[in-house]
């Protein structure tokens, strides 16, 4: 059998010109032109940091290529060959990667939100009896042995993908579809699989230690309990019943704050499971809330007023604080892996004319959290785990931390005090 597709090479100068024109195109600069490079051999090229958003790269070969932090959002990567390619930190949001070969590739810290990695149809030619026959062949996505550590795969479609031995450690995989996927011997330790579809997936030898398995659909697939030590399952029936009381407490807290203590009552959510009321807190006025040691995994606090709130020792993995006012809040020793603080106000809280209270992340686990465009001025990150955390565009004057080197390449440097 021989392939119907013939791959072409492209010289470096021509490739550079195509990319420059494409970058003008996506930036809206006159004279730009969308890149259309189909079935081109781009193996071993270095396109790190380039903007290939919306490019048509159907069927291209990127074997051993470097695409570190490359922007491929909404790009057509149908049937591409990424074997052993370096895609660390690449942006692949809503990319069409059906039938792509990711075997052995490094996709650590990539953003694959709503990407499509399902099977794809490929045209092939077969010689039978001296005659050429054109046929359509279905090829599953292949991610065997690939590395996805710390990547975001929320809402992506990995139906039927062959990913034996792949490393999904600490990934955010909320709402991912992995139905029929081959996940034998995969490492999913610490991954957030909230609402994931694993129906029909092959899970023999897969590790789920400390993973978030809330709302996971398994069908007849089985997770070995011995491989899921410390994993977080669905809220208990008691927690669901308790949610009604907590909702009333939150409303009473709003009344207490707005009336300056003359009505309502200060709420204490210490040790409570907040997951059954995950979307209720959006936009509420919960200033000075106490939620020490609470379970707020995946809870939405978007645009919520939480000045001076106390979340010490809380489990807030995957929680959304986007646009929230968190001035002077305490997250001391909290678990905040994959939490979203984009555009949040985490600056100091003014208590009096001469005294302010900084937002405190001392000892917190903030791995892979997103602080892009947030105000974190004067915040305390002493002994915090900032591995893979993003601070793009953050206001960071006066930030204090134990390790000023911030070693991970994805982490934008935070100015020291």
Per-residue confidence in pLDDT tens, the chain, 417 aa: 334 456 788 999 999 999 999 999 999 999 999 999 999 999 999 999 999 999 999 999 999 999 999 999 999 999 999 999 999 999 999 999 999 999 999 999 999 999 999 987 654 445 456 554 445 466 788 999 999 999 999 999 999 999 999 999 999 999 999 999 999 999 999 999 999 999 999 999 999 999 999 999 999 999 999 999 999 999 999 999 999 999 999 999 999 988 888 888 998 999 999 999 988 999 999 999 999 999 999 999 999 999 999 999 999 999 999 999 999 999 999 999 999 999 999 999 988 777 899 999 999 999 999 999 999 999 999 999 999 899 999 999 999 987 555 443 333 344 332
Q: Give backbone dihedrals phi and psi of 7, rounded to 5 degrees, phi first.
A: -90, 145
Q: What is the model's pLDDT at position 410?
A: 34
For 379-394, give the secondary structure using H, E and C.
Answer: CEECCCECCCCECCCC
Separation CA 79–CA 77 (nearest Å):
6
* Sign of the CA dihedral running 196, 198, 202, 203: positive
352: Cβ–Cβ under 8 A, 6 or more apart, which residues? none
Domain residue spans in the chain? 237-417
Other C-beta atoms within 10 Å of 12: how many? 8
For residue 210, give both structure tokens: 């400390």
CATH entry 2.160.20 includes domain 237-417? yes
Between CA 377 and CA 396 the distance in angstroms is 5
- Residue 315: per-residue pLDDT: 97
CA–CA gap between residue 157 and residue 118 (Å, rounded): 6
Q: How far apart are CA 211 and CA 135, in angstroms?
A: 42
Note whether 144 and 162 are within 8 A (CB).
yes
Element (H, E) at 357: strand 356-357
Which 3 state secondary structure label does DSSP give 310? strand
Q: How far apart are CA 299 and CA 310, in angstroms?
A: 16
Whole-number Cα distances in Å, 218 to 182, 187, 202, 213, 222: 13, 17, 10, 10, 7
Question: Could you tell me which residues come within 8 angstroms of residue 214 by beta carbon, excluding any fewer than 6 positions away?
Answer: 193, 194, 195, 232, 233, 234, 235, 275, 297, 298
Integer CA distances (angstroms), 314 to 212, 295, 384, in order: 15, 6, 14
Model pTM score: 0.86
How far is C-alpha 140 from the chain's CA centre?
Answer: 23
Q: Token pair for residue 334?
A: 């909290």
Task: Return the pLDDT at 140.
Answer: 80
Q: Which among 320, 361, 325 has a CA at the least distance from the CA of 338?
A: 320
Distance, C-alpha 224 to centroid of its chain: 25
Residue 409 is predicted with a pLDDT of 31
> 195: exposed, middle or buried (C-beta count within 10 Å: 0-12, 13-18, 19+)?
middle
- For residues 32 and 51, give the distance between their C-alpha atoms in angstroms, rounded to a whole number: 13
- Contact present, 115 and 100 (Cβ < 8 Å): no
Chain centroid to CA 44: 27
The neighbouring-strand residues paired with 365 are 335, 385
Question: How would you classify the pairing of strands 380-381 and 400-401?
Answer: parallel
The whole-number pLDDT of residue 13 equals 95
Q: How far apart are the C-alpha atoms of 125 and 114, rounded to whole Å?
A: 32
Q: How far apart, in Å, do the first and last CA atoms of the chain sit?
A: 65
CA 169/CA 149 separation, integer angstroms: 5
């Amino acid at each position: 059998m021989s392939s119907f597709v013939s791959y072409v090479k492209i010289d470096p100068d021509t490739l550079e010109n195509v990319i420059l024109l494409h970058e003008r195109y996506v930036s809206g600069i006159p004279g730009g032109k969308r890149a259309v490079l189909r079935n081109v051999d781009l193996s071993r090229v270095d396109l790190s940091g380039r903007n290939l958003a919306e490019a048509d790269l159907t069927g291209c070969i990127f074997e051993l290529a470097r695409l570190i932090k490359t922007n491929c959002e909404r790009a057509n990567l149908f049937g591409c060959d990424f074997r052993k390619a370096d895609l660390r930190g690449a942006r692949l949001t809503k990319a069409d990667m059906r039938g792509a070969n990711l075997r052995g590739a490094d996709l650590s810290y990539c953003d694959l939100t709503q990407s499509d990695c399902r099977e794809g149809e490929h045209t092939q030619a077969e010689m039978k009896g001296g005659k050429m026959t054109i046929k359509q062949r279905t090829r599953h996505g292949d991610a065997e042995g690939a590395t996805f550590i710390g990547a975001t795969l929320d809402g992506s479609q990995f139906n039927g993908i062959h990913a034996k031995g792949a490393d999904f450690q600490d990934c955010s995989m909320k709402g991912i579809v992995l139905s029929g996927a081959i996940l034998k011997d995969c490492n999913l330790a610490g991954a957030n699989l909230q609402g994931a579809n694993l129906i029909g997936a092959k899970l023999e030898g897969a590790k789920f230690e400390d993973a978030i398995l809330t709302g996971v659909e398994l069908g007849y697939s089985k997770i070995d309990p011995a491989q899921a030590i410390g994993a977080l399952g669905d809220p208990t029936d008691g927690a669901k019943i308790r949610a009604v009381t907590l909702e009333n407490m939150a409303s009473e807290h709003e009344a207490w704050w707005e009336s300056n203590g003359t009505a309502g009552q200060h709420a204490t959510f210490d040790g409570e499971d907040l997951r059954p009321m995950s979307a209720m807190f959006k936009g509420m006025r919960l200033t000075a809330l106490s939620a020490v040691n609470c379970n707020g995994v995946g809870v939405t606090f978007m645009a919520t007023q939480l000045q001076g709130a106390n979340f010490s020792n809380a489990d807030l993995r995957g929680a959304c604080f986007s646009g929230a006012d968190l001035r002077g809040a305490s997250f001391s020793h909290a678990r905040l892996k994959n939490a979203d603080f984009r555009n949040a106000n985490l600056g100091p809280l003014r208590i009096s004319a001469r005294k302010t209270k900084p937002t405190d992340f001392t000892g917190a686990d903030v791995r892979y959290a997103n602080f892009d465009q947030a105000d974190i001025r004067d915040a305390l990150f002493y002994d915090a785990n900032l591995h893979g955390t993003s601070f793009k565009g953050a206001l960071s004057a006066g930030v204090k931390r134990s390790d000023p080197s911030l070693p991970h390449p994805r982490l934008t440097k935070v100015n020291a005090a």
